[in-house]
Structure 1
Amino acid sequence: MDSGAPDSPAGVAGPLRFAPFRALMLSSRRVGDPASARAFARPYRGVTERLRRWERQGHLVHDADAALYLHEYTANGLTVRGLVGALDVSERASEPGGRVVLPHEGVEPQQSAELAERMHQMRLNPAPILLVHRGPAEVRAVVHDVVAGRPRAEFTDRSERFNRVWAIRDPLQLASLATHLADCRVLLADGHHRYAAYLQMQQAHPGTAADRGLAMLVDQDDTPLFLGAIHRTLTHTSLRDVRRAVDGLASFAEATEQQAMAALGPSTLVLTDGTDWARIELRLSPGRAAVEMLHEELVPRLPPARRQVAYHHSVEETLAHVPPGGVGVLMPAPDFDLVDQIVTGNRLLPEKATSFQPKPGLGVLMRSLLDE
């Protein structure tokens, strides 16, 4: 944790292009079933034959014709829909301003390399990376026209998610999407290592199916993703250590649990050692996120042996994992427009800065590299 700055994935140059593909889709009873993961397990070279066997057994469908797809899913009362296609990653931007896919976190090169090799052996993109933007009205109009039609598939999966999938093959709709998406720039919400793996695969195998990678694009103005906080725990750290570290950076105040939780906000962090509580009011400059200041200025001021950070997706999980002699740090939920402003300014956020939810389920839409 915080041991070094991860690499920024290379930039894909515009125009933004989504190509139709022939989807592989697990049957509704297989989607959301933890047992389905065995189809994608080692040995990875055997995945293609396993999926062919599942297709013969009726556990998987392979579309006969290529399409762009619209996938809508509802989880925990939140409905999200996105266009799913084969994202063109074959051209690299010569400068940051020319990028059309904007990562907001760095990646570990070894992890990306392992994913690239895995997908190459499987001959498969098993799940789309998740992209998000505030889309043009023309694209939204096509999406709404598609939704008004009959879905290709409609089912509740094993994880209790309700899914609907449409195949978009109408030439006029495809042409309109291609035209109005071309000039868009999109935020990479989830799948940074898979995106970097796409780029590595393309570099190693140009002119092949590796020129594209599976992606889902969500319009934040239409069916917004929930953007939640990822909280922290610091080991071998006391509230007194933190109080010393923030001197000159922020104001530190002891508080009751109720007072501290009520103060949590864009520039206010909440701390607890499991017994006592405090709040930190950060002196943030415009356009800067609280998570940036925490990792770039506050954590480095702690004694080196105490810079161990763990990550938690809920307040309850964080409080349950405050280590003895450690501190829990409750973070404010980041704002989508602030994250977008940061990446547009060619900055990366620290590791585990955002939690975009809900993500598409594994197996609803997959892409075989053997089709192209």
Structure 2
Amino acid sequence: MAEILPLRAWRYNNTLNIEELTSPLFDVVSDKQREALYRNPISSIHLSVPLGDEPAANAAQLLQQWKDKGVLLQDQLPGIYVYYQYFRLPNSDKDYVRKGFICNIKAYDWHEKVLLRHENTIPSAVNDRIELLEHTELNSSPTHGLYTDPDFILEPYMDESIRMPLYETEDYQGVRDVLAVIHDHAIIKLFLDTLADKKVLLADGHHRYGGSLAYRRKCMAENPAHTGTEPYNYHLMYLTNSEHDDLRILPTHRLLRKLPLSDEEFLQRLSKYFTVTLKEDPYELNEVIVGKPWAFGLYLNGAAYKLRLKTEVHPSIEWNFPSEVKELDLTVLHYFVFEKVLGIYRQEQRDYEGLSYERNFTACIRKVDKGEAYLALITNDVSMEQVKRVCNSGSVMPQKSTFFYPKVICGFLFGSIKEDEFTTAAAACL
């Protein structure tokens, strides 16, 4: 099953202020955040979202400069890096903590059914990640994977380690991020042994993992002496236990820049599949659909509507998906609204230029009011059980189905897959 390894991470020199150097992941950083972060010449964003006509080559050159100048230093000992995120959710007094650890994991191909995906990817985003990995041979941020351990075997060791943190910062989400490291060989072996009989569900980072997987395939094809232990076989991942109550998945809403038909015709076509109910307050759309299957909010041209699928039309879904996928709200949304009503077919939806995604509900309403989008489709969240069922079915959800909160941050550590920088850590445990 899942083979993991410790790593000798590259980290910022301890003389630097880590809080000024971290950054959001490449797919969630906003334009305003980018502008501010790029002004710092040693911000981690220069490695994760590099600038220029040849961004990947620029990142590789900058990385080497940082190594040469001591901006980044490689840890002397291999370790498992414990990473806790402390947070609250809006309108809640509960204090959450998501517990996990960062390590290297074999970049398993999908057909091996060790690492399971639950979402489609957007091809252009994967290509960017491949090019960046080829040039830098560096994982600039970990993806997020889930393993299942109802006995919580590893948590006591993580709890002990987090008492002596390497870093403790507050990030752009208002989350308190804490990083620690475990060097003890016996405990590291326990981590490796615990994951050895488990599958891993890919929670977040499908594009980055897809980049590592494509890079591994390319290197395998070019290496007639391939053994499976080369550094290019591995990928940096943050692993959390799916049995934790503090694992949160938030909804991802849909925005359309324009409609290919009039508002009246759009609503008329919707009524064939949905019960369409006019609502007075658009800021209550997320509340009127909560907990209701196949229910959505629609904000269009200043008017708010609740959409509820007519149950008798659900069996008409023609997509060749298992029942676990057909039952999902987002499958219903993408099939009946995008394909049947708007005529945007399934394969087109993955790269459809007029479709964008927004996690913040109030931002959806604001963007429509400001003319930045023509309409917003408000969705419910996806449950952890639904994610598990879809992964185990061998199928995938529509793209951008889940938003595991909080996002990990970039800049705490970097994982090298250069031969001389990787093998020391791997040899220590093989």
TM-score (norm 2): 0.73
Structure 1 position 247, deviation (Å): 4.1
2:365 matches 1:319: yes
Equivalent residue, structure 1, for 2:265:
241
Q: Tell me the secondary structure at the aligned position of residue 321 of structure 1.
A: helix
Equivalent residue, structure 1, for 2:99:
81
Q: Tell me the secondary structure at the aligned position of residue 205 of structure 1.
A: helix
- 1:14-33 counterparts in 2 under 5 A? 15-26=1-12, 27=16, 28-32=18-22
Equivalent residue, structure 2, for 1:64:
76
* Aligned-pair Cα RMSD in Å: 3.0
- 1:186-225 counterparts in 2 under 5 A? 186-206=200-220, 207=226, 208-222=230-244, 224-225=246-247
When structure 1 is superposed on structure 2, of 311-320 and 266-275 the one drifting more is 266-275
Question: Are the counterparts in 2 of residues 136 and 180 from structure 1 also a CA contact under 8 Å?
Answer: no
When structure 1 is superposed on structure 2, of 117-126 and 168-177 the one drifting more is 168-177
Distance in 2, matches of 1:171 and 1:32, equals 29
Question: Are the counterparts in 1 of residues 175 and 406 from structure 2 also a CA contact under 8 Å?
Answer: no
Within the candidate set 156, 159, 168, 1:155 is matched to 168
Which ranges of structure 2 fall in alignment gaps of 5 or more residues?
A: 24-36, 89-94, 221-225, 316-322, 346-351, 423-430
- Closer, same or farther: CA 262–348 of 1 in aligned 2, 3 Å: same
- 1:231-270 counterparts in 2 under 5 A? 231-234=253-256, 235-236=258-259, 240-257=264-281, 260-265=285-290, 266-270=293-297
**One-letter amino acid of the counterpart of residue 192, structure 1:** H
**Which is helix-richer, 1 or 2?**
2
Question: Are the counterparts in 2 of residues 116 and 198 from structure 1 also a CA contact under 8 Å?
Answer: yes
**One-letter amino acid of the counterpart of residue 232, structure 2:** A
2:39 matches 1:38: no
Question: Are the counterparts in 2 of residues 151 and 164 from structure 1 also a CA contact under 8 Å?
Answer: no
**TM-superposition CA deviations, 1:165-201 (whole Å, max 9, x none):** 2222323322322222122222212111111111111
- Closer, same or farther: CA 63–157 of 1 in aligned 2, 3 Å: farther
**One-letter amino acid of the counterpart of residue 336, structure 1:** M
**TM-superposition CA deviations, 1:62-99 (whole Å, max 9, x none):** 1101112111133556432212111112x5465xxx51
Q: How many residues align?
A: 352
- Closer, same or farther: CA 44–248 of 1 in aligned 2, 3 Å: closer
Within the candidate set 389, 394, 411, 1:341 is matched to 389
**TM-superposition CA deviations, 1:113-148 (whole Å, max 9, x none):** 3322211211211111111244342xx332322322
**One-letter amino acid of the counterpart of residue 156, structure 1:** T
Q: Tell me the secondary structure at the aligned position of residue 148 of structure 1.
A: helix
- Closer, same or farther: CA 361–248 of 1 in aligned 2, 3 Å: same
TM-score (norm 1): 0.83
- Closer, same or farther: CA 368–261 of 1 in aligned 2, 3 Å: closer
Equivalent residue, structure 2, for 1:289:
328
Distance in 2, matches of 1:117 and 1:303, equals 35
Equivalent residue, structure 2, for 1:364:
412
Distance in 1, matches of 2:68 and 2:80, equals 24
Question: Are the counterparts in 1 of residues 81 and 179 from structure 2 also a CA contact under 8 Å?
Answer: yes
Equivalent residue, structure 2, for 1:229:
251
Question: Are the counterparts in 1 of residues 63 and 136 from structure 2 also a CA contact under 8 Å?
Answer: no
Distance in 1, matches of 2:337 and 2:80, equals 46
Q: Tell me the secondary structure at the aligned position of residue 347 of structure 1.
A: coil
**TM-superposition CA deviations, 1:218-265 (whole Å, max 9, x none):** 123336332111112332266543433334533222232277554213
Q: Tell me the secondary structure at the aligned position of residue 200 of structure 1.
A: helix
Q: Tell me the secondary structure at the aligned position of residue 317 of structure 1.
A: helix
